[in-house]
Amino acid sequence: MQHQSKLPHVGTTIFTVMSALAKEYNAINLSQGFPNYPSSQKLNDFVTKAMNNGYNQYAPMAGNLDLRLAISNKYQLLYDSTYHPEKEITVTAGATQAIYTIISAFIRANDEVIIFKPAYDCYQPAVEINGGKTIPIQLSAPDYKVDWNEVASKISPKIKMIIINTPHNPSGMIWSKDDMLQLQKLTKNTNIIVLSDEVYEHIVFDGEKHQSVCLFNDLKDRSFITASFGKTFHNTGWKIGYCCAPEALMAEFRKVHQFNVFSVHHPSQKGIADYMQDSETYLGLNQFFQQKRDLFLNLISESRFKFNPSKGTYFQVLDYSEITDENDVDFAKRLTKEFGIASIPLSVFNENNKDDKVLRFCFAKTPETLKKAADILNQV
């Protein structure tokens, strides 16, 4: 039998490649974005309790209502923004499913979608499998600032969606209020939908404020927000997330969601809803991760790597241009094999694999692991 791949350019992701290499060489794995410390016992207990209390059958299609109420309350508390728990919030199998479903619900053949590179890797295949085309805008090290004149020059009637991500994986940069206002101005009086990937909304450093699309009224009216409890509550393996959008957009989302997932793991939803009643569970994260970032950066301050401190996410990018001319994929592999530390080369997220000689390290790790990692990086 012969078949033609719908995604001929997609291979194994760099995360799988680097994690496998880390395992083979017994290296410290700062490549993939997941914590190496446990999810909260209190949260685990809430989920167990939900199972014992009978939350074991299908959840409502849009998600457990207690959880949607908790999410709605969070938007009210943090951004003074209202999302109706019944009509404007849907719980998903991680942010990845939310992103895929949003794109499937709106992108048709030959529609164009602007993405900013380096881009998280699930955006482009989701657009392409739905017949769309991505229009990349390349951002550059070290500050990854958006050139809004360039964005303006790419807007055309073919653009159906713009995907943004702040705080930004992989660069650790955040968008300013001015960036959001520029986006709002450029999309005004268009039919462009904005997909705002805000999975790291609770990980913003140095007293900065996360600029959610929901803070800007015109933007909010055309936007989906995607979010991930895996990132927020240190349990990426649970794959629970959600999205929020105005009612009319959410109605279209649910038409697809109900036939590709229908509903997600019920006891986890109820457990997370109970856990979130205490807002400190998410408000304390900025501080928690800032301490990890500062520890990591203090420990490597004498190394030959150059850096600007990450402004958000649990990733730090390090520039190795003073160490070697090797391309970043080769250097990341050599660091894993010869020095015992795995990272992610940024070129894999860039247009035409642009190589800025930068590697991404995940610092959602215990202090012991960060110290061991720093000892190695100081010797490179």
Ligand X SMILES: Cc1ncc(COP(=O)(O)O)c(C=O)c1O
Rule CB under 6 A: which residues touch ligand X? 33, 94-96, 120, 165, 169, 197, 199, 228, 230, 236, 239, 241
- Shortest approach of ligand X to residue 196 CB, angstroms? 11
- Tokens 């015109």 belong to 218
- Shortest approach of ligand X to residue 378 CB, angstroms? 28
- Nearest residue to ligand X on Cβ basis: 94
Please give the Cα distance from 310 to 289 (Å, whole number).
Answer: 11
Backbone angles phi, psi at 145, to 5 degrees: -75, 145
Please give the Cα distance from 23 to 19 (Å, whole number).
Answer: 6
Beta carbon nearer to ligand X, 67 or 299: 67
Of 140, 149, 148, 191, nearest in space to 168 by CA: 140
- Tokens 């393996």 belong to 237
Of 97, 89, 106, 64, nearest in space to 225 by CA: 89
N-term to C-term CA, the chain? 50
Please give the Cα distance from 90 to 102 (Å, whole number).
Answer: 11
- Shortest approach of ligand X to residue 120 CB, angstroms? 4
Could you tell me the strand order of the sheet in which 159-165 lies? 89-92, 241-244, 223-228, 193-197, 159-165, 112-117, 133-138
- Shortest approach of ligand X to residue 162 CB, angstroms? 15
- Shortest approach of ligand X to residue 31 CB, angstroms? 12
- Shortest approach of ligand X to residue 98 CB, angstroms? 8
Say if residue 26 is exposed, middle or buried (CB neighbours under 10 Å; 0-12, 13-18, 19+): exposed
